């Protein structure tokens, strides 16, 4: 399908959906440009899957609109412009992996070569195995292959690495990087904060059906993030340390100190000047984990209040 530069890849406007009394998605507005890699993060029940299902035209919004490359999801999907990988869903049984990928390829106008896709997704070794005899991680890779084979401009992936072991996860992201580098737009939902941090240009945080933050990982970290200085230092009390310039909070446990800093460079200079015997110094940025908790509330609380895990 011809892709007009300038038209965003994805536009969600005022998107809402309820399941009975559950407001799964409440007024989401989002515009994603060509070539962006965007992670959707959020606790269980935040509305990530519901949003993705609406993007792929699998669920109907109660209100609002989805536009993919200026078209409806149904049109964009049937043109082969979109590759989707769902969080759940079984593979067709009684077909080999190769047959299944071949069948999907035959539905689209410009598919990739089946052998290439089998090799990119590292399932060539199980290509002749029946789909119901695959391990969880292998089945996951087959689902990824199904998303790739139509050679889509946009990949939409719901927790693509959920069942993968560490090395498969790394391989998966290598393939994704290549796809993103070749100009594809990628949207993925994940619970792995480090994954979003490492692979996404942009992070969209959702909680309770709403987008609560949207920006580059670094910006989101900066929003909530203070850096911390950890060190070993006997002597000065919390009050004395708290008086150092740039320090906003002090935590002392035995000889270990943690200084929460609003200006860690200044704090470090003062700390070294005042206490030359300070040692084991480490400066750490705020992790996405901190951002996550700060922006979405306590995820543990969300888990139990949602019925997503019933
Ligand atoms: N088919 C459905 N029927 C009823 N309620 C649903 C249905 N699908 C989702 N929900 C509810 O909508 C809310 C959002 O669910 P959704 O699956 O979009 O969340 P999620 O962010 O993908 O969560 P997870 O991280 O657990 O995958 C949840 O409260 C969930 O229980
Ligand atoms: Mg989900």
pLDDT per residue as tens digits for the range 161-220? 887 888 888 888 888 887 777 888 999 998 877 788 888 999 999 989 999 889 988 777
Ligand 2 midpoint to CA 48 (Å):
5
In the chain, where the domains are located: 10-81+152-221, 226-285
pLDDT band, residue 229 (cuts 50/70/90): very high
Residue-level pLDDT at 91: 80
When pLDDT is averaged across residues 52-73 and rounded to a whole number, the result is 95
Residue-level pLDDT at 299: 44
Pocket test for ligand 1, best of 16, 39, 40, 50 (most atoms within 8 A of CB): 50
Q: Which ligand is nearest to the CA of 58?
A: 1
Ligand 1 atom nearest 309 alpha carbon: 26
Say whether pTM exceeds 0.85.
no
- pLDDT value at 223 more than 70: no
C-alpha span between 146 and 85 (Å, rounded):
8
- 157 and 189 Cβ atoms separated by less than 8 Å: yes
Higher pLDDT, 138 or 293: 138
As a CATH number, domain 226-285 is 3.30.70
Residues 10-37: tens digit of each pLDDT: 999 999 999 999 999 999 999 999 999 9
When pLDDT is averaged across residues 81-104 and rounded to a whole number, the result is 87
Higher pLDDT, 70 or 43: 70
- pLDDT value at 288 more than 70: no
Residue-level pLDDT at 302: 40
User: Domain 10-81+152-221, what fold?
Assistant: Rossmann fold (3.40.50)
For the stretch 172-179, contacts whose Cβ atoms lie closer than 8 Å and that sit 24 or more positions apart, written own/partner, are: 172/141, 172/144, 173/198, 173/199, 175/120, 175/121, 175/144, 175/148, 176/37, 179/148, 179/155
pLDDT band, residue 301 (cuts 50/70/90): very low
Ligand 2 midpoint to CA 223 (Å):
26
């Amino acid at each position: 399908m011809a892709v007009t530069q300038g038209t965003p890849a994805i536009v969600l406007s005022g998107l809402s959906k309820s399941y009975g009394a559950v407001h799964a998605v409440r007024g989401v507005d989002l515009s994603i440009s060509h070539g962006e890699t965007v992670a959707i993060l959020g606790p269980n029940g935040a509305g990530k899957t519901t949003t993705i299902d609406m993007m792929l035209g699998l669920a109907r919004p109660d209100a609002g609109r989805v536009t993919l490359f200026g078209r409806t999801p149904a049109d964009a999907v049937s043109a082969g412009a979109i590759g989707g990988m769902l969080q759940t869903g079984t593979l067709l049984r009684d077909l080999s992996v190769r047959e299944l990928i071949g069948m999907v390829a035959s539905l689209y106008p410009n598919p990739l070569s089946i052998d290439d896709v089998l090799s990119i997704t590292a399932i060539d070794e199980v290509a002749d195995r029946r789909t119901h005899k695959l391990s969880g991680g292998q089945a996951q890779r087959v689902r990824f292959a199904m998303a790739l084979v139509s050679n889509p401009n946009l990949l939409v992936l719901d927790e693509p690495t959920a069942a993968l072991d560490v090395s498969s996860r790394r391989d998966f992201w290598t393939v994704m990087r290549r796809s993103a580098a070749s100009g594809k737009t990628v949207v993925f939902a994940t619970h792995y904060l480090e994954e979003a941090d490492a692979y996404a240009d942009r992070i969209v945080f959702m909680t309770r059906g709403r987008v609560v933050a949207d920006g580059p990982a670094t910006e989101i970290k900066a929003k909530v993030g203070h850096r911390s200085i950890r060190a070993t230092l006997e002597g000065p009390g919390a009050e004395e340390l708290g008086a150092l310039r740039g320090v906003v909070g002090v935590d002392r446990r035995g000889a270990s100190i943690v200084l929460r800093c609003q200006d860690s460079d200044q704090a470090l200079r003062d700390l070294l000047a005042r206490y030359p015997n300070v040692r084991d110094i480490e400066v750490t940025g705020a992790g996405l984990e901190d951002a996550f908790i700060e922006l979405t509330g306590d995820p543990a609380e969300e888990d139990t209040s949602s019925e997503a895990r019933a």
